[in-house]
Structure 1
Amino acid sequence: MSETADRYRRRADAFERTVVGVRPDQWANPSPCEKWTARDVVRHIVEMHAAMLHPLGRSLGPAPSMDEDPVAAFRAARADVEAILDDPALANRTSDTPTGPVTAEQHIDQVLSEDLPLHGWDLARATGQDDTIDPEDVERAWAGMRALPAELMEKFRTPGAFGPDVEVFGSEVKVAQDASSQDKLLAFIGRDPHWRP
């Protein structure tokens, strides 16, 4: 198993634990993502799994809908992505993406896998669960964000730049100089680290 597959599985495990921890009465809770409920956060993650399959001519397999069973929907979607990561021929297939040609494995690592800890925080904060992001993921994401060229960062902050209704990052939120690395990362991507439902 590759380092990329290991990283994805570790992050998907953490996200799944948070999904499982949502009580039935919490799915309509507001989240730190404006206009999204807790259910919408998981729906977005499931849709991002589908987006990783599209360049390979694949789609998500049969599964309960997000409205029926969010836990089962996520588990089915992650199984579809893990099947790609476990197949060297598929994992190494190059496709065109919004940021250029990359292998399926790279695409999953750079987009989907990076999304899991951040949206895991959104879901945890929306539902009153432990919202601590693995420090290794915080440092990796923070280093990656600071290395982005200014013009690409601006594109990420521009609503619709990657498609209709797609907003990657919000405007940076101000935090104290001595804020934790996690809070600085969240603020950089447009989250208020002190947000509560």
Structure 2
Amino acid sequence: MTENVVLPAEDRPPHAGEPLPARARLGVGAVVVLVLLAFAVTIGIGMVRGATGTEVVEPAVSASPPSAADPQVGVYVHVAGAVREAGLYRLEVGDRVADAVARAGGFAEDAARDGVNLARPVADGEQIVVPVTGAEVTAGGAAPAAGASDGVVDLNTATREQLDTLPRIGPALADRIIAWRDENGRFTSVDDLSSIPGFGDKMIEALRDLVRV
């Protein structure tokens, strides 16, 4: 005789249309939660990748580097002598001596205006010396070298070579005289040499009869 075994309600298979036992419902719910959790993790990973893995497009590099700026076109001339503001000036190609004198403030009151050819085109690197009234002028429009005329060197118009002929004045001191002249304008007195390093009272007295302003 077969004995009928009665299973607990939660272990018995459900009949059609009969609701699932509580334990079965919990199992199905757990599976659904795991699926949703996995789906949420997948979406989260995609969002993180989208935020941090954005593709960076490098700017296109030109095959040839940009050309450097073209240098300024022009000429540089040193205007000295009997002008209001002696110095180094930049002029345009094709400018003339008249333009250089104008850039230097024009003629000084004691300028020998006929001593320079105002119509002559200027050249890069040249020195234009406007002589003072009464000074002998060479064909180039510069004051005469030391020894010419009365043999006295004009501090306002003398070139480096002319200054170098003076006693105890070498190339270094000659350059200092020209630099002071370019920065401060004309010498108004021989005593202005005392403002230049290297010129003491004794040297100035020795030069007093050899130079003029």
Instruction: Provide TM-score, normalisation by structure 1.
Output: 0.22
Higher relative contact order (CA 8 A, sep 6+): 1
Instruction: Provide TM-score, normalisation by structure 2.
Output: 0.21
The structure that is helix-richer by fraction is 1
